[in-house]
Amino acid sequence: MNEPRVGPQAGQQVVVGALPTTFRVLAATVGGAYSIVEQVVQPGTLVWPHVHTDHDQVAIVLSGELGVRVGDREWTATAGEVAVRPRFVPHTVWNAGSEPARFLEISSPGNFEDYFHRLAATAPDDKRGRERLQSEFGVSAVDAWIADLGERHAVKL
């Protein structure tokens, strides 16, 4: 079992796309039920819109302002707010502010941490490798949102 107490600077760090990601609670600690990562979205950044078929996610904003779209609902979440992103519902986050936005992301089941690890290890130009990984974890891109969100919020992938 992993240590039940996790300090504020603890956890393995990787970069997933443009997101620095720190693994805070590993799935192995809780029998695979969930995992928790901490992510930081820099100003002007849009996280690729996507949908999951195998995982539910919850984002808890720690600091900054995080733009959120879940299905047809869109808002700006601030520190303490929670964004629920259930499986089968397209979603994304972005940072249209001037300060980094930091949030905890809880994914259930916890094997989604494997997706983060493997995606971080995939070369940016390995489109086929990313597509295989997305298929394996039930992730699909929602490209139709990119231009609109980018234009309205001055953010980019």
Average pLDDT of adjacent 10-residue blocks, the chain of 157 residues: 66 83 90 94 96 96 98 97 97 96 96 87 87 92 96 96
pLDDT at 14: 85
pLDDT at 157: 92
The pTM of the full predicted model, rounded to 2 decimals, is 0.90
CATH number of the domain at 13-121+137-153, out of 2.60.120.10, 2.40.70.10, 2.40.50.140, 3.40.50.300? 2.60.120.10
pLDDT at 3: 62
pLDDT at 122: 87
pLDDT at 69: 98
Burial class (CB within 10 angstroms; exposed 0-12, middle 13-18, buried 19+) of 148: exposed
Task: Show me where the domains of the chain are located.
Answer: 13-121+137-153
